[in-house]
């Protein structure tokens, strides 16, 4: 699939065929995620793959908008390593880039899946504190690991309509606002 066409045709997929995504294909998709840009090239991401149907079903108890995960082939929780990410906590400044780095990795992951005919849906985790804590308990995540995105995946069993025109030239500001 040509990259630009892939960017325009990726859609969130929430209905899946009863067909597993093989491990080698999952690894190729995660490889693409690991080629994403990251602040200071820290690559602070970790990928937790959930294939267990019970765990997929229980995701909805932790993040209420993931009920369709029960029929997915898998979900990949993209997590940030807070000890590894580019960050600052001194002189009155406190910030880190984990959520941004992991979101970029997640987009690469979704586009790589799309290129292989696999549907995905990005479901949010960080910055919702209850969801972060719920995932921590459900998945045994250590304190320095923050879940950023739950990418639910499977071979599509729906063809969502392409969206209305999203290109809005008025959102582009040339030189000054």
98 binds ligand FMN (CB under 6 A): no
Q: Cβ 160 to ligand FMN, closest distance in Å? A: 6
Q: Which of 57, 87, 115, 122 binds ligand FMN (CB under 6 A)?
A: 122
Q: Cβ 107 to ligand FMN, closest distance in Å? A: 9
Q: Which of 5, 9, 12, 52 binds ligand FMN (CB under 6 A)?
A: 12
Nearer to ligand FMN, 12 or 61 (CB): 12
Q: Which of 87, 116, 124, 128 binds ligand FMN (CB under 6 A)?
A: 124
Nearer to ligand FMN, 92 or 161 (CB): 161
Q: Which stretch binds ligand FMN (CB under 6 A): 9-17, 50-58, 70-78, 130-138?
A: 9-17
65 binds ligand FMN (CB under 6 A): yes
Residues paired with residue 133 on neighbouring β-strands, in sequence order = none
11 binds ligand FMN (CB under 6 A): yes
Q: Which stretch binds ligand FMN (CB under 6 A): 15-23, 33-41, 120-128, 137-145?
A: 120-128
Q: Give the DSSP per-residue string, the chain.
A: --HHHHHHH--B---B-S-PPPHHHHHHHHHHHTTS--GGG---EEEEEE--HHHHHHHHHHSTT-GGGGGSSEEEEEEEETTTS-EEEETTEEEE-HHHHHHHHHHHHHHHHHHTT-EEEEEEBTB-HHHHHHHHHHHT--TTEEEEEEEEEESBS--PPPPSP---GGG---S--
Nearer to ligand FMN, 30 or 149 (CB): 149
d(CA 135, CA 61): 10
Q: Token pair for residue 30?
A: 């995660």
User: What number of other Cβ atoms are within 10 A of residue 18's Cβ?
Assistant: 9
The binding site for ligand FMN (CB under 6 A) comprises 11-12, 14, 65-66, 121-124
């Amino acid at each position: 699939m040509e990259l630009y066409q892939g960017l325009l045709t990726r859609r969130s997929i929430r209905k899946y065929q009863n067909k597993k995504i093989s491990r080698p294909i999952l690894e190729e998709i995660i490889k693409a995620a690991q080629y994403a840009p990251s602040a200071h090239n820290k690559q602070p991401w970790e990928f937790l793959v959930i294939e267990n149907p019970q765990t997929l079903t229980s995701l909805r108890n932790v993040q209420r908008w993931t009920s369709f995960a029960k029929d997915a082939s898998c979900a990949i929780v993209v997590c940030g390593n807070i000890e590894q990410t580019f960050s600052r906590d001194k002189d009155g400044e406190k910030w880190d880039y984990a959520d941004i780095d992991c979101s970029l990795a997640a987009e690469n992951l979704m586009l790589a899946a799309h290129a292989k005919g696999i549907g995905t849906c990005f479901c949010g985790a960080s910055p919702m504190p209850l969801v972060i804590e719920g995932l921590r308990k459900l998945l045994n995540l250590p304190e320095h690991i923050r879940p950023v995105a739950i990418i639910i995946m499977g071979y599509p069993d729906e063809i969502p309509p392409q969206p209305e025109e999203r290109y809005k030239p008025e959102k582009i500001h040339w030189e000054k606002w």
